[in-house]
Structure 1
Amino acid sequence: MMNESAHFLALVDELSSLSQVDALLLAGSRATGLADDDSDYDLYVYLNAPLSLASRQQILDKYCRYIELNNQFWETEDDAILHDGIEVELIYRDFEFLNQHLQQLLLHHQASVGYSTCIWANLLDSKILYDANGLAGQLQQRYKLAYPQALQQAIIDKNLPLLLEQIPAYSHQLAKALQRQDRVSLNHRCSEYLASYFDVLFALNQLPHPGEKRMLNYAESHCQRRPQQLRRNIEALLSEVGQGQACLLERLKILSQGLCQCIEEHPDLELPGI
């Protein structure tokens, strides 16, 4: 933990002294070595019993100049700014939640619409700062698995139809929004399209999904199987959506067809029956 915030390290040290805390895992760019000046601390606090709001407030008051306690937008978390100006997110979980999710994903191959394997990637890429009973390390080893081919296919089957011509497909939704010149809907549906697009792309390459940040850079550096001119077409789509240009519909076809071609060229995967 060299070159890390002294306030963050002190916060980790105090949390690790609590009997309710099983483990502390650092995730995100601070764990993977990709942090920049705008990077925050994503600290996952795994609990074996509730940690009261009063206790959390008392601890954070020592190390933070601003605190938002008990935000519930995605998971239970405390968001704060350390005394040195660096943001920190404390996300509270338990190992039962994590284990159940990963069993459904990796043993039962339960895909979702977009971001199917993000929690798996989160565990594998996290840096263990504290592990009272070794449970975090055991789970990292247990789920350090080869990417299941059945999961690959399940993610493709779940997401690819939404990139093509079925009635709920994003292309149809974007065409309607374009006709109405509904800029909010255009941006929303484009984001959903890209969520499913990258979910398929990372599954195709047997890569756990790295999350929503820097996805294009990650795809270019890690995906051996990818459509030609991926960056050019993604950036063009974003520009066309932003300007409400009709040519975005043709761009969608180019992107989706390129992805289908990559799947067709894979010896072990099939296009879903669409």
Structure 2
Amino acid sequence: MSESIHFLALVDELSALAQVDAVLLAGSRASGLSDSYSDYDVYVYLNAPLAAEARQKIVAKHCQYLELNNQFWETEDDGVLLDGIEIELIYRDFSFLENELHYLVERHQAKVGYSSCFWANLLDSKILYDANGQAKRLQQRFNVAYPSALQQAIVNKNAPLLMQQMPAYYFQLAKALKRQDRVSLNHRCAEFLASYFDILFAINGLPHPGEKRMLEFAELHCNICPDQLAENVERLLAEVGQAAGSLLDTVSLLSETLQQVVTTQTSLSWPTKS
């Protein structure tokens, strides 16, 4: 899918600013998997602060709608280009990204869910502007084989939360069922799936692609995969929506079949209860 002329004009203006070191396009539009719902995910790497007012003068010219300086996760300008395509402009500096990836890829520090998203974000990004070659150098530095120590760290961090330790999502879902607390059921199910897919992508040596279309990505790219993955995930989601007691059986099935493929199809170990 060719890039919008309004998008390209905006990138050109941002790239001309002294504060901008690089502009990277991420997400489905960078990977070639975009569809009619896809927006532009743009990461603007800065070497000095770029005031919201200065950004507005540039971005507003190319947008029919603009939310300036959103601060929900990172600093963002979110809008709709003149041709109707949504855009997210996320402002970072390279030291933030380098630090995140150093601790993940080189120090093997896992998180609860979505451990390697920043890694995938960098590797899959299309460099649109790179003043000093820093973006390219980072891509080259972290374009390495998935470390087995990181795979094991992600399993160790997330597996006990499926249904093993006291804080596990299984037990939280069981309590929410007893209370018929549908809000908690939905929240705990989302967290269960976050840890589940974090493990699944790790054992396949795949940096985590992010929160969108995870099941589709897993079916396309995961060679090590529990049987009937899509069917069981879809069943769980339906059962959560109905607050059905059978969802605990589905959580157990998903957890046990994932453990089975880890222990039988990989050289990794599944952590024992502490």
Summarize deviations over 1:191-222 as a string: whole Å, max 9, x none: 00000000000001010000011100110111
Inter-partner Cα distance in structure 1 for 2:39 and 2:227:
34
Shift, 1:267, TM fit:
4.4
Superposition map of 1:239-250 within 5 A = 239-250=238-249
Q: 2:174: which partner in 1?
A: 175
For normalisation by structure 2, the TM-score amounts to: 0.98
Cα contact 2:170–2:248 (8 A) shared by 1 = yes
Superposition map of 1:177-196 within 5 A = 177-196=176-195
Shift, 1:227, TM fit:
0.5
Cα contact 2:112–2:195 (8 A) shared by 1 = yes
Inter-partner Cα distance in structure 2 for 1:165 and 1:95:
38
Inter-partner Cα distance in structure 2 for 1:171 and 1:232:
19
Give the total of aligned pairs. 273
Shift, 1:107, TM fit:
1.1
Structure 1: 5+ residue runs without aligned partners?
Answer: none
Inter-partner Cα distance in structure 1 for 2:63 and 2:217:
32
- Identity score, percent: 66
Summarize deviations over 1:16-75 as a string: whole Å, max 9, x none: 111110000000011011111111100000000111111101001210111111111111
Structure 2: 5+ residue runs without aligned partners?
Answer: none
Q: 1:238: which partner in 2?
A: 237
Q: 1:203: which partner in 2?
A: 202
Q: 1:130: which partner in 2?
A: 129
Q: 2:111: which partner in 1?
A: 112
Shift, 1:142, TM fit:
0.5
Look up the SS of the partner of 1:68 in the other structure: strand
For the pair 1:76 / 2:100, whether they are aligned, the reply is no
Superposition map of 1:55-94 within 5 A = 55-94=54-93
Cα RMSD (Å): 0.8
Summarize deviations over 1:83-126 as a string: whole Å, max 9, x none: 11111100001111111110000111110000000000000000
Cα contact 2:156–2:270 (8 A) shared by 1 = yes
Moved over 3 A (4+): none
Inter-partner Cα distance in structure 2 for 1:144 and 1:3:
26
Shift, 1:3, TM fit:
2.1
Look up the SS of the partner of 1:265 in the other structure: helix
**Letter in structure 2 aligned against 1:98:** L
Inter-partner Cα distance in structure 2 for 1:168 and 1:45:
38
Superposition map of 1:30-49 within 5 A = 30-49=29-48
**Letter in structure 2 aligned against 1:101:** E
For the pair 1:218 / 2:228, whether they are aligned, the reply is no
